Amino acid sequence: IPQDGPVIINGQKFLVHYFSDSVVLTRTRFTASAALTSSANPSVYGRDVTFTATITPEVGSSYTSANPVVTFVLDGNPLFTQVVSLNTTNSTAAFTPQSTFGIIFGPNTTHTITATFSDLNDVFAPTTATPNPLTQTVNKNTVFITVSSLPAVTATGPVYGQATQIIASVRA
């Protein structure tokens, strides 16, 4: 092991420093990088958007003794903060603010989201996901309306006094 090189002992990372009469191990934390993505950007009014943080841990590290979480913050507002446990199988954490907080992203707006990876057991050093923040654009939603009748309207019908059902279908 080179001077100040890393060594992993029982899932913990140490730096090794040699002196003439001793060896000193200094515990340090593993590093990780984090990327933040949106399920749809731009999105449209009325549709949920899921933000996903993907963590890439340092080579040689393990989540075995860690308790990794991702803290998502919407629009810098502490009231819209959610701590999500990291799925250690695929190294992701997901957050859908609309369903979590019962909110709707209005049309023609933007929102910012940040995600910070941390470890409650202090095995990994905290890191902020990139981009920081991610800007979510919300556009108007297109609505299609179809109107029909029973019986169908023709040149000869329906006639005066005949019961007619009007049907309106709306879809996004």
pLDDT tens digits along 102-113: 999 999 999 999
Q: Buried b / exposed e across 11-34, counting CB within 10 Å, b at 16+?
A: ebbbeeeeeeeeeeeeeebbebeb
Give pLDDT, residue 153: 84
Tokens found for residue 140? 């108007």
Where is average pLDDT lowest: 29-38, 84-93, 163-172?
163-172
Cβ-proximal residues to 163 (8 Å cutoff; 6+ apart), any chain: none
Please report which helix (H) or strand (E) contains residue 97, including its range: helix 97-101
pTM of the model: 0.78
Q: What is the pLDDT of residues 140-163, one digit of tens each?
A: 988 889 998 888 888 888 888 889
Mean pLDDT computed over 42-54: 95
Please tell me the predicted confidence (pLDDT) of residue 40: 96
Report residue 99's pLDDT band, with 50, 70 and 90 as the boundaries. very high
CB of 37 closer than 8 Å to CB of 52: yes
pLDDT for 172 beyond 80: no
Could you tell me which of 133, 101, 108, 97 has the C-alpha nearest to residue 44?
A: 108
| Residue 133 tokens, joined | 């923040």
Q: How many residues does the chain have?
A: 172
C-alpha span between 111 and 139 (Å, rounded): 12
Q: List the one residue out of 127, 139, 137, 134 whose CA is nearest residue 51.
A: 134
